């Protein structure tokens, strides 16, 4: 996801929304777990520091979605979703639920109580609030290096003027999800849709326009959305003049010519070889805000050993999501060649069918769904989620920063032995994951099936 000009970077945005749909507790700004009337009941970490933020259910929705595309829809359609964004929307919906619906939410989302779920959400929101605007390293003046990673996650909620929220749910929306409900008249459908689309375009910096098409039906009384925006420069740059067309092998046996970013000089990279796949970790520059010896964000590219092995690998990951979310045991290796195709595409779908398949069913069923914790109105007994629509886009290309070469040189200079040599040539369909390394939060997950396709 880097730009074509100097200083350009990797971009990816996503918007999640839920219509129709909230609570036992929340984590406030200072990390206190408080009950609905404000009494402190315990301590909670605001910032994500543990691997419980890996969001297994949401990642499994993505892998299931990729398998659906491979086997039923279009085996050449690229996929990208944001487990982090999806998780926030599901957590918000769960906060307005009760009874068996709440139980099913908690079981799917890996929490025992709403208090625990709210604490995890506060932790995640805190992660996106971390200050990256520290003073840049004076040893590097390159404009790309001095641009720190951009990571934002914001929520919005629209409530019909005739259907007030319960005070307890409104408190959670404000304190955990950092938004104040907007009171609207859903009878003025076009006006509300335009307001949603303007919000989505603004929060994704223009990358997602017309999120809700004119054909979409906004009936209310409750609509909420999440927008995630990510932009970062590679720590180790790819030189644009080294990009060249090479063969990429599609799953249907055909071969296409695609532009590959290349590094043909030896470099130290974190890599790993496993039973039927290999992984390379590409770090993003910190922009001088933190030590580049400890970058916060990375992309793991997961390449099947066999050219047509992506489906089998996905089925393996889907049967045990922990395999995909593990902290891969990577080691420093001397990489003699790196070949990775450029890609840029968007992806959208309604995820309800996938979630139903994975066991989350009650929130979408009327009259079984129970969202009586959301509204101070008889309508609370009638609410259910009618649609969960996802749209994301991602772009990956060469541009990074010169800080990459300095970092690599330091690593090589510190080596006391000749490390194992490997090549990493991603010339057939593969998966990718962008994540925050301390918490394990997965920002984007997807698969490149055809690097020339924009979907």
DSSP string spanning 134-185? PPPPTT---TTTTS--EEEEEEEEEEETTSPBPHHHHHHHHHTS--PPEEE-
Mean confidence (pLDDT) of the chain: 76
Lowest-pLDDT range of 133-137, 227-231, 277-281 = 133-137
Q: 380: closest CA among 100, 163, 104?
A: 163
Tokens of 301: 């590219």
Beta-carbon contacts of residue 30 (< 8 Å; ≥ 6 apart): 46
Residue 258, pLDDT score: 94
Split at pLDDT 50, 70, 90, the class of 97 is very high
Q: 177: closest CA among 117, 258, 260?
A: 117
Residue 326, pLDDT score: 75
Residue 399, pLDDT score: 53
81-95, 215-229, 440-454: range with highest mean pLDDT: 81-95
Give counts: helices (H), strands (E), the chain.
10, 19
Residue 117, pLDDT score: 93
- What is the distance, to the nearest Å, from the Cα of residue 63 to the centroid of all Cα atoms in its chain? 13
First to last CA, the chain: 17
Query: Is residue 450 pLDDT above 70, yes or no?
Result: yes
Residue 145, pLDDT score: 47
- Prior bond of 423 cis (ω within 30°): no
Residue 12, pLDDT score: 56
Residue spans in the chain of domains classed CATH 2.30.39.10: 240-342+402-448
What is the 3 state secondary structure string of 308-366? CCHHHHHHHHHHCHHHHHCCCCCEEEEEEEEEEECEEEEEEEECHHHHHHCCCCHHHCC
Query: Whole-angstrom Cα distance, residue 438 to residue 450?
Result: 31
Beta-carbon contacts of residue 431 (< 8 Å; ≥ 6 apart): 66, 301, 302, 310, 313, 314, 445, 446, 447
pLDDT digits 0-9 by tens, 282-296: 888 877 665 556 788
Q: Which residues make beta-bridge pairs with 349? A: 390
Residue 443, pLDDT score: 80
Residue 348, pLDDT score: 84
Coil, strand or helix at 440: coil
Query: Whole-angstrom Cα distance, residue 444 to residue 55?
Result: 12
Residue 361, pLDDT score: 95
DSSP 261: E
Q: What dotted CATH number matches 10-48+76-233+345-394?
A: 3.30.497.10
Residue 236, pLDDT score: 79
Coil, strand or helix at 110: coil
Query: Is residue 316 pLDDT above 80, yes or no?
Result: yes
* Percent of the chain's residues with pLDDT above 70: 76
pLDDT digits 0-9 by tens, 326-346: 777 888 888 888 898 988 888
Query: Is residue 301 pLDDT above 80, yes or no?
Result: yes
Residue 375, pLDDT score: 85
pLDDT digits 0-9 by tens, 40-69: 323 333 333 344 456 889 989 989 999 988
Q: 298: closest CA among 432, 119, 140, 450?
A: 432
Residue 360, pLDDT score: 94
Residue with tokens 């045991």: 329
Q: Read off the pLDDT of each residue in 171-191 and give the average, rounded to a whole number.
A: 91
Q: How far is CA 28 from CA 46, 115, 137, 287, 360, in A?
A: 8, 11, 34, 30, 28
Residue 164, pLDDT score: 86
Split at pLDDT 50, 70, 90, the class of 435 is confident
Query: Is residue 129 pLDDT above 50, yes or no?
Result: yes
Beta-carbon contacts of residue 214 (< 8 Å; ≥ 6 apart): 193
Residue 133, pLDDT score: 40
Q: Read off the pLDDT of each residue in 167-179 and give the average, rounded to a whole number.
A: 93
Residue spans in the chain of domains classed CATH 3.30.497.10: 10-48+76-233+345-394
Q: Which residues make beta-bridge pairs with 245? A: 259
Q: 43: closest CA among 53, 51, 31?
A: 31
Query: Is residue 136 pLDDT above 80, yes or no?
Result: no
Query: Is residue 376 pLDDT above 70, yes or no?
Result: yes
Residue with tokens 């541009």: 399
Q: How far is CA 51 from CA 45, 126, 235, 295, 325, in A?
A: 13, 15, 24, 17, 9
Q: Read off the pLDDT of each residue in 360-369 and give the average, rounded to a whole number.
A: 89
Q: Which CATH code of 2.30.39.10, 2.10.69.10, 1.20.990.10, 3.40.50.300 fits the domain covering 240-342+402-448?
A: 2.30.39.10
pLDDT digits 0-9 by tens, 205-254: 888 888 888 888 778 788 888 998 888 888 877 888 889 999 999 988 89
Q: Read off the pLDDT of each residue in 62-86 and give the average, rounded to a whole number.
A: 86
Split at pLDDT 50, 70, 90, the class of 417 is very low
Task: Assess contact for 432 and 82: CB atoms under 8 A.
Answer: no
- Prior bond of 221 cis (ω within 30°): yes
Residue 422, pLDDT score: 56
Task: Assess contact for 375 and 221: CB atoms under 8 A.
Answer: yes
Task: Assess contact for 44 and 27: CB atoms under 8 A.
Answer: yes
Higher pLDDT among residues 26 and 187, named by residue: 187
* Percent of the chain's residues with pLDDT above 90: 21
Q: Read off the pLDDT of each residue in 173-202 and give the average, rounded to a whole number.
A: 91
Dihedral angle over CA of 146, 148, 149, 155, nearest 10: -140
Residue 111, pLDDT score: 93
Query: Whole-angstrom Cα distance, residue 184 to residue 407?
Result: 52
Q: Which helix (H) or strand (E) holds 283?
A: strand 277-283
């Amino acid at each position: 996801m880097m730009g074509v000009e100097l200083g350009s970077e990797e971009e990816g945005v996503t918007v999640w929304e839920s219509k129709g749909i909230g609570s036992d507790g929340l984590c406030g700004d200072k990390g206190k777990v408080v009950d609905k009337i404000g009494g402190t009941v315990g301590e909670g970490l605001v910032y994500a520091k543990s691997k419980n933020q890996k969001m297994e259910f949401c990642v499994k929705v993505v892998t299931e979605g990729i398998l659906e595309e491979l086997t039923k829809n279009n085996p050449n359609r690229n996929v990208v979703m944001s487990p982090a964004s999806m998780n926030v929307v599901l957590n918000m919906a769960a906060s307005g639920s009760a009874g068996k619906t709440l139980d099913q939410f908690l079981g799917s989302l890996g929490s025992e109580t709403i208090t625990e779920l709210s604490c995890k959400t506060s932790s995640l929101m805190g992660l996106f609030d971390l200050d990256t605007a520290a003073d840049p390293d004076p040893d590097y003046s390159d404009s790309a290096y001095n641009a720190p990673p951009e990571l934002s996650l914001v929520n919005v909620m629209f409530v019909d003027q005739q259907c007030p929220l319960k005070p307890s749910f409104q408190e959670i929306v404000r304190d955990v999800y950092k938004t104040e409900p907007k009171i609207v008249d859903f009878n003025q459908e076009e006006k509300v849709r335009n307001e949603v689309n303007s919000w989505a375009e603004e929060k994704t910096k223009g990358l997602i326009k017309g999120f809700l098409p004119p054909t979409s039906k906004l009936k209310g009384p409750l609509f909420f959305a999440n927008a995630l925006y990510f932009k970062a420069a590679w720590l180790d740059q790819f030189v644009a003049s080294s990009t060249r067309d090479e063969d990429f092998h599609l799953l249907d046996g055909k071969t296409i010519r695609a532009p590959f970013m290349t590094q043909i000089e030896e470099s130290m990279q974190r890599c790993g070889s496993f039973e039927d796949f290999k992984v390379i970790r590409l770090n993003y520059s910190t922009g001088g805000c933190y030590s580049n010896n400890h970058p916060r964000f990375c992309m793991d590219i997961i390449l099947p050993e066999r050219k047509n092995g992506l489906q089998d690998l996905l089925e393996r990951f889907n049967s045990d999501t922990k395999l995909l979310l593990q902290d891969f045991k990577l080691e420093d290796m001397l990489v003699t060649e790196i070949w990775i195709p450029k890609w840029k595409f968007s992806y959208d779908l309604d995820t309800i069918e996938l979630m139903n398949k994975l066991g989350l069913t009650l929130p979408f069923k009327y009259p079984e769904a129970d969202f009586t914790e959301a509204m101070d109105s008889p309508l609370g007994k009638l609410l259910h989620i009618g649609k969960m629509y996802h749209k994301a886009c991602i772009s990956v290309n060469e541009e990074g920063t010169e800080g990459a070469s300095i970092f690599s040189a330091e690593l090589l200079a510190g080596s006391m032995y000749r490390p194992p040599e490997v090549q990493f040539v991603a010339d057939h369909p593969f998966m990718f994951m962008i994540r925050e390394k301390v918490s394990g939060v997965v920002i984007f997950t997807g698969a490149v099936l055809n690097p020339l396709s924009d979907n």
